[in-house]
Structure 1
Amino acid sequence: MRQNLCEIVERMKVVIVLLMVQAALAGVIVFYKLAVVEGMSMRVLIAYRFIFATACITPLAFIFERESKANLTWKVVFQGILSGLFGGALGPNLFIASLSVTSSTYATAMSNLVPIATFILAAILRLERLGIKTLAGQAKLWGTLLSIGGAMILTFYKGKELNLWSTNINIVKHGGHHHTSTRHAAVGDQVLGSLLALASCLAFAIWYIIHAKMGENYPFTYSASALFCITASIEATIYTIITDRNWSDWKLGWNLRLLSVVYTGAVGSGLTVVLMSWCLRLRGPLFVSIFNPLTLVYVAIVGSLIFDEKLSIGSIIG
């Protein structure tokens, strides 16, 4: 009996870890929203996020995986650069661009397309077999079609707002930039936000594929994660310096900005990237990506509790 229970726990270990990862990533989106209200540049926050993640992970790689240096090849370095580009510079920046013209719940809902994009890319690269005549293949096909349909509903249909529960709490009301944030949410171009979110989904799907391949060539969880964070921090910082030359945006104090940077860096990138690298090596990119929609559940609950965001019929159906 005890042996069977241990086997079940062992098989469920990856699932439990991915549930924790999605909860942590939902926290990142919440801090993104709070940082926007605080007036912080999102591009600066993303650059800081990977800088802090690098500071957290790199020492662990040196301590626990010293032998990884001998296995570091130029191929792995190139994969790390691409991983940092799509998962660090492009994906998050496209997502926050979408977040700026939509709501946190909506932008997160569009990330449901990440598993579809990952599946299509994996099938093209022959990392995933469709097997249309099998039950598993049919489930993948119908899941893809349903996800695309849900994203289209989210994009073009809003419907009546629903008030499932109300705490009458909106912590962003106390921020000096609340009016601007609300105005953007009210008049933002939903189609533009959807296109940005789709581009973000594609970037993250490519990141899943590249990072999984890097894990095959370089099976060192901490070192692979550190390589990703190092390249992501460099690329994101260069992009931010080019597009945002207001040096006062880089100033941090003992305030919400620092808390946002620490959480998104240490937890949102440091911890989650290590855990996802481990899961990608064990179960592959498609299995890891199918947990993305869970972030929507966490964000919708938190958003309705502390941001007073309303769920619409279109959001729920989508």
Structure 2
Amino acid sequence: MVNLFNVEAIESVKPVVLMIVVQSIYAVVNIMLKMVTNDGSSLSVLIAYRFVFSTAFTVPFALFFERKSLRNLTGTVLFQAFLCGLFGGSLQQILYVKSLALVSATYTITMLNLIPAITYLLVVSLRMEKPNLGTLAGKAKLMGTLSGICGAMILTLYKGKKLFNFSVHIDLLEKYVTSTTHHSHAGSHVCGLMLALGTAFSFSLWYITQSKMSENFPWHYSIAALTSIMGAIQSFIFALCTERDRSLWKLEWNLRLLTAASAGILASGLCFVLLAWCVGMKGPLYVSAFNPLLLVLVAFISSLLLNEYITVGR
């Protein structure tokens, strides 16, 4: 009994640790993306290269560890992979980086705090989970949903007085600010928040689609690889249609290459595998519940390295 209990305890800890790792990776990559979006880079090309790196990272693992999964590829699985590549890849990232270009990283991440609320509403509406409002767990989920919505609205609509920052007198954005930066424009601010809201919806749909896909195709490396492949195809088609200047496709040894590689290998490649594992084990609502941790990490890093202030609203 003791050994069995210990195994169960270890299994219950694993998803928590993995989700903390995922959110930490996302926080670092978010700051790098914010810096790149301010230097005039082509965002659609950056996304396309991101998923090329992600594909190059995940496919060898899938072929080595889960080669037998190829026998289970069906039309349904490929369609679900296409949706994962769309909601968890190309569409999500296009909306996200466009939002980062218009508002601060902290504001963008704030809207992503709505992911648990949106996921909860979707899984209940789709009858994937019961609300169970008569139980303590059901009431906690509902209260968490409402508090997430209220918190995001407060931070979005009320900035408040500056309190402090943890600045070490380093502003990494200073050398990357260009004439294309529009943070002070009210219309751009609202547009940026709407794009971030669209990103949150895309995230929720991705978690739900991935959960359904893992039921019939329980191979986490293969799910990550298929998502990356679909995301690369979709984002490359979009980039080719929107960016005709060949010079924008050149990769040099600079921050853009480092960001594309880090975002692809870590945020998409490694995190896709970890998320697929956690979604398959705990479900989409559990995974989405860790998104608020990203706001805390990004707010701290932004204050430390981007010279952003913590305000009353935050």
TM-score bucket of the superposed structures, by smaller chain: over 0.9
Q: Equivalents in 2 of 1:234, 1:243: separation in Å? A: 14
CA distance in 2, matches of 1:144, 1:54: 34
Amino acid at match of 1:265: G
Partner Cα distance (1:146, 1:63) in 2? 44
Provide the residue aligned with 2:108 in structure 1.
Answer: 107
How do residues 19-168 of structure 1 correspond to structure 2 at under 5 angstroms?
A: 19-168=20-169
Q: Taking every aligned residue pair, what percent have the same amino acid on both sides?
A: 45
Deviation at 1:188, TM superposition (A): 4.7
Q: Indicate whether 1:290 and 2:292 are aligned.
A: no
| Residues 266-275 or 252-261, more deviating | 252-261
Instruction: Note if contact 2:165-2:308 (Cα within 8 Å) is conserved in structure 1.
Output: no
Alpha-carbon deviation of 1:157? Answer: 1.3
Deviation at 1:292, TM superposition (A): 0.8
Verify the 8 A CA contact 2:165 2:304 in the aligned structure 1.
no
Structure-2 separation of matches of 1:44 and 1:246: 11
Post-superposition CA distance 1:219-248 (Å, at most 9, x none)? 111111111110011011111222222221
Matched to 1:186, the amino acid is: S
d(CA) in 1 for partners of 2:308, 2:63? 44
Higher deviation after alignment, 287-296 or 241-250: 241-250
Residues 234-243 or 13-22, more deviating: 234-243
Count the aligned residue pairs: 312
d(CA) in 1 for partners of 2:8 and 2:78?
A: 36
Counterpart contact for 1:118–1:205, Cα < 8 Å:
yes
In the TM superposition, residue 174 of structure 1 has moved relative to its aligned partner by 2.8
Q: Is the 8 A contact 2:167 2:305 kept in 1?
A: no
TM-superposed deviation, 1:179: 4.2
User: Retained in 2: the 8 A contact 1:114–1:204?
Assistant: yes
CA contact 1:107–1:197 (8 Å) conserved in 2: yes
Deviation at 1:9, TM superposition (A): 2.7
* Corresponding residue for residue 18 of structure 1: 19
In 2, are the aligned partners of 1:43 and 1:93 still within 8 Å (CA)? yes
Choose from 183, 200, 217 the match for 1:185. 183
State the distance in 2 between where 1:132 and 1:221 align.
32
Distance in 1 of aligned mates of 2:217 and 2:6: 32
Q: How does 1:192-203 map to 2 (within 5 A)?
A: 192-203=191-202
CA distance in 1: counterparts of 2:88 and 2:243, whole angstroms: 20
Show structure 2 runs of 5+ residues with no match: none
Counterpart residue number, 2:9 = 8
Query: Separation in 1 of the partners of 2:178 and 2:35?
Result: 13
Give the 3 Å change call, closer, same or farther, for CA 179–188 of structure 1 in structure 2.
farther
Question: Contact 1:35–1:256 (CA<8 Å) still a contact in 2?
Answer: yes
Root mean square deviation of aligned Cα? 1.7
Task: Measure, in 2, the Cα distance between the counterparts of 1:179 and 1:250.
Answer: 20
Q: Deviations over 1:159-214 (max 9, x none)?
A: 11221323111022233xx1436x52222533222211111111110011001111
Query: SS in structure 1 opposite 2:252?
Result: coil
TM-score by length of 1: 0.94
| Residues 239-318 of structure 1: pairs in structure 2 closer than 5 A | 239-314=238-313, 316=314
Q: Secondary structure at the match of 1:171?
A: coil
| Distance in 1, Cα, partners of 2:79 & 2:165 | 48
Amino acid at match of 1:237: F
Partners of 2:57 and 2:220 in 1: how far apart?
A: 14
Residue aligned with 1:184, SS = coil
Paired residue type of 1:78: F
Q: Which residue of 1 aligns with 2:171?
A: 170
| Range with bigger deviation, 1-10 or 101-110 | 1-10
Structure-2 separation of matches of 1:85 and 1:125: 20
Q: CA deviation at 1:7?
A: 4.0
Per-residue CA deviations over 1:72-110 (Å, capped at 9, x if unaligned) read: 111000100111111112111111122121100110111
Ranges in structure 1 where 5+ consecutive residues have no aligned partner? none
Report the TM-score, using the length of structure 2 for normalisation: 0.95
Q: Structure 1 CA distance, aligned partners of 2:185 and 2:8?
A: 53
Give the conservation status (yes or no) of the 8 Å contact 1:114–1:289. Answer: yes
Tell me the residue number matched to 2:232.
233
Q: Tell me how far apart the structure 1 counterparts of residues 50 and 214 of structure 2 sit (CA, whole Å).
A: 22
Could you tell me which residue of structure 1 aligns to residue 207 of structure 2?
208
The amino acid that maps onto 2:194 is L
